[in-house]
Amino acid sequence: MKKRELLEHAKPHYEENQLLELEHAIDFATKAHIGQKRKSGEPYIIHPLHVADTLIDWGMDIDTVLAGVLHDTVEDTTATLHEIENLFGRDVAFLVDGVTKVSQARAGMQDLTNYLPQTKDNLSKLLIAVGQDVRVIIIKLADRLHNMSTLQHMSPEKQKKIARESLEVFAPMADRLGMGRVRMQIEELAFSYLDPSEFNRLKNLMQKRLGKSTRKLGIVRSEVESELAKHTINYVVNGRVKSIYSLHRKMLKVDNNIDDIYDLMALRVIVENKEDCYRTLGILHSMYQPMISRIKDYIAIPKPNGYQSLHTTVITPSKQIVEFQIRTFEMHEYAERGLAASFHYHEQKSNKDYSKRKGQSATLPAQLQWITQMQEVAQRLRDNEEISQDQLNIDLFGNRIFVYSPKGDLYNLPEGALPLDFAYLVHSDIGKHAYSFRVNGNIHAFDKPLQNGDVVEVVTRKMSQPKQAWQELVTTTHARNKLRAHLRQLGIIESLSGAAAIIREKAARKKK
């Protein structure tokens, strides 16, 4: 990757003054990294240019691309954050600082069985950096992707360490941001270094299987295209091959029997709107016998990371089993690029609230509400409040569910969330006056977890007040904070300052 190539790639996507900024950033970074080499022996500047190139591919705003070029300057050269702010503006400096903090936080990761570093200091840096502007982690994903593609130049020990961290930290983060293609790329590269013999075995096994089924699938594709054309549906049909790492995980579930895996290769039908998705599903089911248990509607109820598609598996007259994914072009773009496809920061910059939000849209879609929760946690860390590791794992990195209000509004909660978590998420006053709950029309206990797709109604009474026992009936940090504030107002639990005074008094008595 050279300066000229990057500028050519950027030209169709940015205005002339932005391209001049990009050229300036490349020149600054090239000078800052002069004399530095990568393990491959190439000039170091090749790496940040590749990162910026990826960010352009993902459709990121110019500030993110500039920060991609400059992301290693503060950490690895004599360049300062003050210089970057003077030359490229406060937002670019903010992003570079965030990436630097995430790098420092990564260096402190000891236990990769969790998605978060264990030390409080590094945890704070990571959450504060990412919580304030999620573009920081998008830059870090682009950085990690290029580093993974050049991992062959590292020692075997380093290869395994970086691959494990990528699989256990960065791939799940990409998934949480809905960046499916990036998650898959990271997983494939990581798995090839962590278990090369199994990776190659599965790759060969899949190639043999695909060789047998590709011709048959071509016939099915032609039949489907012909039928969709008759119904005047505008479409694109393409094939999707299962990733090696996804196959590995699926094989573990089916006792290593590849015959029980029906979606090694799937056909993807992309259409213009939601109505055509359902029409296409009906057409496929009129042509082939559907396997009823394998029909999934992720359009009506999206996956927790925002992924939307209709999935169906059918049996053709020749007894071939074929999986189809049906989605709109917009859904396809989101499935591939996730958050990067759904946020347009350059449009938000004209909004006077942009600087307050630091890269967050005014109202986040339900699948990205966890980013707001991350900001709340980061603020508490800045305020030096104590937060347990369990709370962080539940709130930020656990599996997510969607639940609905009776009016059809969508809310995103961690798996295992209880009704009071929902009530406090809707509004603190609703949580405060919760009297009972109805889920899917039935009375629901306070201590019974909610499930994905539940419709939750909170029955409130003005006379109803929070009780101390409710502290055992919330799982999210947000609900716990609101509940404790109410309990302190009612005098049911001590205020923090009151509790501190009691501790100080007891300590003074002991000294006497």
Mean pLDDT computed over 178-203:
92
Is the model more confident about 360 or about 459? 459
Q: Tell whether the model's pLDDT for residue 18 goes beyond 80.
A: yes
**Which stretches within 360-493 are classed as H helix?**
369-382, 389-392, 419-426, 428-432, 477-489
Q: Tell whether the model's pLDDT for residue 125 goes beyond 80.
A: no
Q: Please report how many Cα atoms fall inside a 13 Å half-sphere around the Cα of residue 407, on the Cβ side.
A: 4
What residue ranges of the chain are covered by domains with CATH 1.10.3210.10?
3-179
Identity of the amino acid at 235: Y
Which of 45-49, 216-220, 501-505 is predicted least confidently? Answer: 501-505
* CA-based radius of gyration for the chain: 26
* Superfamily of domain 354-507 in the CATH hierarchy: Beta-grasp domain (3.10.20.30)
DSSP 322-383: EEEEEEEHHHHHHHHHTHHHH--HHHHTTSTTHHHHTS--SS--GGGHHHHHHHHHHHHHHT
Is the model more confident about 264 or about 238? 238
Alpha-carbon distance of 84 to 460, in angstroms, equals 53
Alpha-carbon distance of 28 to 188, in angstroms, equals 34
Q: Tell whether the model's pLDDT for residue 238 goes beyond 80.
A: yes
- Judged by DSSP in three states, 158 sits in helix
**Sheet of 456-460: strands edge to edge?**
442-444, 434-439, 456-460
425 alpha-carbon distance from chain centroid: 20
Instruction: Tell me what pLDDT residue 1 has.
Output: 78
Instruction: Tell me what pLDDT residue 253 has.
Output: 83
Number of residues that this document lists for the chain: 512
pLDDT tier for residue 115 given thresholds of 50, 70 and 90: very low
- Provide the β-strand partners of residue 43: 37
| Domain range 3-179, its CATH number among 1.10.3210.10, 1.10.10.10, 1.10.1060.10, 3.30.565.10 | 1.10.3210.10
Give the residue from 67, 41, 253 showing the smallest Cα distance to 150. Answer: 41
113 alpha-carbon distance from chain centroid: 18
Q: Tell whether the model's pLDDT for residue 388 goes beyond 80.
A: no
Largest interatomic CA distance in the chain: 92
Architecture field, domain 196-337: 2-Layer Sandwich (3.30)
Q: Are 239 and 267 in contact (CB under 8 A)?
A: yes
Residue written as token pair 């759904």: 342
Q: Is the dihedral of CA 489, 492, 495, 501 positive or negative?
A: positive
- Provide the β-strand partners of residue 497: none
Catalytic residue ranges: 75-76
> What is the CB neighbour count within 10 angstroms for residue 272?
13
Alpha-carbon distance of 394 to 375, in angstroms, equals 15
What residue ranges of the chain are covered by domains with CATH 3.10.20.30?
354-507
What residue ranges of the chain are covered by domains with CATH 3.30.460.10?
196-337
Which of 217-231, 390-404, 481-495 is predicted least confidently? Answer: 390-404
Mean pLDDT computed over 179-197:
93
- Taking only the tens place, the pLDDT of each residue in 327-353 is 999 999 888 888 776 554 334 443 333
Q: Tell whether the model's pLDDT for residue 6 goes beyond 70.
A: yes
- Taking only the tens place, the pLDDT of each residue in 65-86 is 999 999 999 988 999 999 999 9
Is the model more confident about 454 or about 25? 25
Instruction: Tell me what pLDDT residue 348 has.
Output: 42
Instruction: Tell me what pLDDT residue 105 has.
Output: 57
Q: Tell whether the model's pLDDT for residue 309 goes beyond 50.
A: yes
- Mean pLDDT for the chain overall: 82
Instruction: Tell me what pLDDT residue 357 has.
Output: 39
Q: Tell whether the model's pLDDT for residue 456 goes beyond 90.
A: yes
- Taking only the tens place, the pLDDT of each residue in 278-290 is 999 999 999 999 9
> What is the CB neighbour count within 10 angstroms for residue 201?
13
pLDDT tier for residue 258 given thresholds of 50, 70 and 90: confident
**Which stretches within 231-328 are classed as H helix?**
244-253, 274-287
Q: Tell whether the model's pLDDT for residue 137 goes beyond 90.
A: no
